[in-house]
Amino acid sequence: MKTFAAFASVAALLCTAPLAQAQAITEDTPTVRVGYGDLDLSRAGGRAVLEQRIRQAIDRVCPRRPMPSELSNFKAYRTCLAETWTGVQPQLAQIYNGRQLADSAVRVMAAAR
């Protein structure tokens, strides 16, 4: 019974985490779809290309890299990059574990600001 209760708690947490994340996203949240239907993700080269495409998409949805004279904006820029990459990780895990997304695309959304 303890195992069932622990499992139920974890399941509830996993079900509510995307809901909480979705609430932070607005219509104005920059989003880019990154296609991977043309890649062989069973090979390291295909995964590397997908991850490079995702990094390029993250560069598009996050604020531009601050100039050296704008050091006060650098922390926000780095935070956006890191949090957006973290937000993509669950999608990559599903894809790499053989559960391709229905539209063969990763959705890259800027981290909530």
Q: What is the pLDDT of residues 27-83, one digit of tens each?
A: 678 899 999 999 999 899 999 999 999 999 999 999 888 788 877 888 888 999 999
Q: How far apart are CA 6 and CA 1, in angstroms?
A: 9
Question: Cβ distance 59 to 82 under 8 Å?
Answer: no
* Closest of 67, 61, 65 to residue 76, by C-alpha: 65
Q: How far apart are CA 68 and CA 2, in angstroms?
A: 55
The residue type found at 69 is S
For residue 4, the model assigns a pLDDT of: 35
